[in-house]
Amino acid sequence: MQVDRREDGSLRYRYSDPSGAIEYDEGELMHVRGFGVGGDLGLSVLAHARQTISSTIATDEAAARTFANGMRPGGFFTYEKGSLAPEQREQARKALIEPMQGVENAGRIGLLEAGGGFKWQEVVIPPADAELLASRRWHVEEVARWFGIPPILIGHASEGQTMWGSGVEQIMLGWLTLGLRPYLTRIEQAVKRSLIAPAERATLYAEFAVEGLLRADSAGRAEFASKMIQNAGMTPNEWRAKENMPPIEGGDQLFINSTLVPLAMAGQRPSRVQPAPGEPIPEDV
């Protein structure tokens, strides 16, 4: 997809497929721009993180080669008695190298005749010296950082980070505010710009409901519902809808807790009794 501007300033989208190039006007597509101030397209995460991603792939390939060789480092057999003839070199390869390669040959015992003249010389840095495991952990965190995702969401706990308890809740709040919210805002703006007519934008809008990401445990939800309903923050049926429960009769009105009374009226019987849900409220109350 190629994006450019016409002389009148409008955007033009040109898409290439096997049948040829197809052009679209600005009003025919919903375009969600990338992060940053990258002009008409925004910035590409993959393009700017290519060095990190390439390093990650290279580290995984190095680890795979190391384990595929049975954790044995690479190197050379040096012949200390001169040079080998082609036939001798092929024979040494079949007798010394091929039987020891591959993870299936790990722990295999070889046999060298006395006076063979071969000496082993390592040429690979051991994984411990290269900090291979530490590098792989760091690359997971680097890729997650580029996409603004806490490592715990992809099953990785970084150094000093908790995987349970109230700490996870705070991590989720931070991710929602600093990581996920910018993406959601761009999508909401794209929907408003591309899918809602200008005359309807005063009454229609797109908004992501993120309350599901912040759902607490049953005790926390019950406490929140109690406070909201007792302080006229929401009706009982509004809360029941959030919990996927059917509405109840009389649950569409707001309630407020009237248990707090002045000290002088403590113990006195109220002159009016609050009507039960569904009963009409007297006009003189």
Q: Is residue 197 part of a domain?
A: no
Give the sign of the dihedral formed by CA 212, CA 217, CA 218, CA 223: negative
Q: Is residue 40 part of a domain?
A: yes
pTM, full prediction: 0.51
Q: Can you give the pLDDT of all 285 residues of the chain as single tens digits?
A: 888 888 888 888 888 888 888 888 888 888 887 777 667 777 778 777 888 888 888 878 877 776 666 555 566 667 766 677 788 778 777 777 777 666 555 555 565 665 556 666 665 556 565 566 677 777 888 888 888 888 888 877 776 666 666 677 778 778 888 888 888 888 998 898 888 888 898 888 888 887 777 666 677 778 888 888 888 889 999 988 888 889 999 889 888 877 766 667 766 766 665 565 666 666 654
Task: Classify residue 192 by burial, with Cβ atoms within 10 Å: 0-12, 13-18, 19+.
Answer: middle
Q: What is the dihedral of CA 167, 172, 175, 181, to 10 degrees?
A: -150
Q: Is residue 30 part of a domain?
A: yes
Tokens of residue 278, six digits: 């569904």
Q: Is residue 118 part of a domain?
A: no
Domain count for the chain: 2
The values of phi and psi at residue 18, to 5°, are -55, -25
CA 59 – CA 140 distance, rounded (Å): 11
Task: Classify residue 236 by burial, with Cβ atoms within 10 Å: 0-12, 13-18, 19+.
Answer: buried
Q: Is residue 26 part of a domain?
A: yes
Please say whether the beta carbons of 154 and 176 come within 8 A: no
Q: Is residue 17 part of a domain?
A: yes
Measuring CA to CA, which residue among 109, 90, 111, 99 is closest to residue 69? 99
Domain that holds residue 36: 2-44
Predicted pLDDT at 129: 54
